């Protein structure tokens, strides 16, 4: 059987390193991302008979760190309040080991990232002071020794990245309103507007997080993916939107013909 030449894409968002709930903390971040590497290996093995992978593209969609002073009572719900310590833990204990592990499965790893609202330093700080961007810069430096890895980071709040010639819009999602506590309407409205702009018009799929919600919808010829969160027993989505946070992240395939050839929702808490 002739194999399809594709890129695998993995979306990572709303890790919230530093946050603590009754079932989530720093140790759970470390163990769950180790489990994620094993899940990626299983999916890759599952697809190997029909797909030849050229690369793994990792899309960091923001809120990697939980940040500090994002809301008034935040410090009461954190295991680590020092944002620099959150970022260093994310690099040294979590994502450098993860990237090095999955780089054994693919010829090349390409990594992009956009900032989330939990990275905000203050209302008066430059946008580039976002702690997600700091984490991305730390990660790039820490991965310099892995020749398979290419980090393509900058300071844009949103961008269109090219995978197999297809455009994928990546954005955290924090400026989108959830009407009647449902984010999809606000997401579709914003996507339709962005699709007619000069800067962001040329794309085939949009990916975002923020709402701790997992789903896939099609809007005429484009796809919209909502990515879940690593945090379990988090009351934010339950109180704000009326449903529990979803502990799943998207992994999917892209070919030169199709922006979505296959997809898997990777379970994060019980892989």
CA distance 47 to 50: 6
72 band by pLDDT with thresholds 50, 70 and 90: confident
More confident call, 242 vs 163 = 163
191 band by pLDDT with thresholds 50, 70 and 90: very high
- Dihedrals phi, psi of 109, to nearest 5 degrees: -120, 125
Q: What are the helix and strand counts (H, E) for the chain?
A: 6, 11
Judge whether residue 26 has pLDDT over 90.
yes
91 band by pLDDT with thresholds 50, 70 and 90: very high
CA distance 108 to 105: 9
Of the candidates 104, 43, 38, the one whose C-alpha atom is nearest the C-alpha of residue 263 is 43
CA distance 133 to 129: 7
- The maximal CA–CA distance of the chain, rounded, in angstroms, is 58
pLDDT in tens, 139-188: 999 999 999 999 999 999 999 999 999 999 999 999 888 776 678 888 88
CA distance 113 to 101: 19
15 band by pLDDT with thresholds 50, 70 and 90: very high
More confident call, 127 vs 4 = 4
pLDDT score at 267: 97
Please state the rounded mean pLDDT for residues 67-87.
91
Of the candidates 136, 131, 133, 155, the one whose C-alpha atom is nearest the C-alpha of residue 68 is 131
Judge whether residue 124 has pLDDT over 80.
no
Element (H, E) at 135: helix 131-142
Q: What is the mean pLDDT of the chain?
A: 93
pLDDT score at 53: 97
Structure pTM?
0.95
For 27, 75, 229, 231, 250, the CA distances from 24, given in Å and listed in that order, are 8, 15, 11, 6, 20
CA distance 104 to 197: 39
Picking from 51-55, 95-99, 125-129, which range would have the lowest pLDDT averaged per residue? 125-129
What letter does residue 123 receive in the DSSP assignment?
Answer: T
132 band by pLDDT with thresholds 50, 70 and 90: very high
Judge whether residue 137 has pLDDT over 70.
yes
């Amino acid at each position: 059987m002739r194999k399809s030449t594709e890129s695998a894409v993995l979306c990572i968002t709303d890790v919230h390193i530093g946050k603590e709930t009754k079932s989530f903390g720093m140790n759970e971040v470390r163990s769950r991302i180790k489990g994620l590497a094993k899940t990626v290996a299983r999916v890759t093995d599952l697809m190997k008979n029909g797909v030849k992978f050229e690369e793994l593209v990792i899309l960091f969609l923001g809120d990697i760190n939980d940040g500090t002073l994002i809301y008034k009572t935040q410090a009461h719900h954190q295991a680590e309040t020092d944002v620099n310590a959150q970022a260093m833990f994310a690099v040294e204990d979590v994502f450098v080991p993860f990237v090095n592990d999955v780089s054994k499965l693919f010829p090349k790893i390409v990594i992009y990232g956009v900032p989330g609202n939990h990275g905000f330093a203050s209302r008066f700080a430059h946008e580039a002071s976002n702690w997600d961007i700091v984490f991305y810069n730390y990660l790039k430096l820490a991965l310099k020794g892995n020749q398979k890895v290419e980090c393509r980071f900058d300071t844009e709040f949103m961008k269109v990245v090219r995978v197999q010639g297809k455009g994928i819009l990546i954005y955290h999602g924090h400026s989108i309103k959830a009407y009647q506590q449902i984010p999809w309407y606000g997401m579709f409205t914003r996507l339709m507007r962005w699709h007619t702009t000069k800067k962001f018009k040329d794309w085939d799929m949009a990916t975002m997080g923020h709402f701790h919600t997992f789903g896939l919808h099609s809007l005429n010829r484009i796809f919209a993916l909502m990515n879940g969160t690593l945090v379990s027993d988090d009351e934010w989505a339950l109180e704000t939107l009326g449903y529990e946070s979803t502990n799943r992240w998207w992994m999917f395939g892209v070919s030169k013909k199709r922006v979505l050839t296959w997809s898997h929702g990777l379970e994060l808490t019980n892989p």
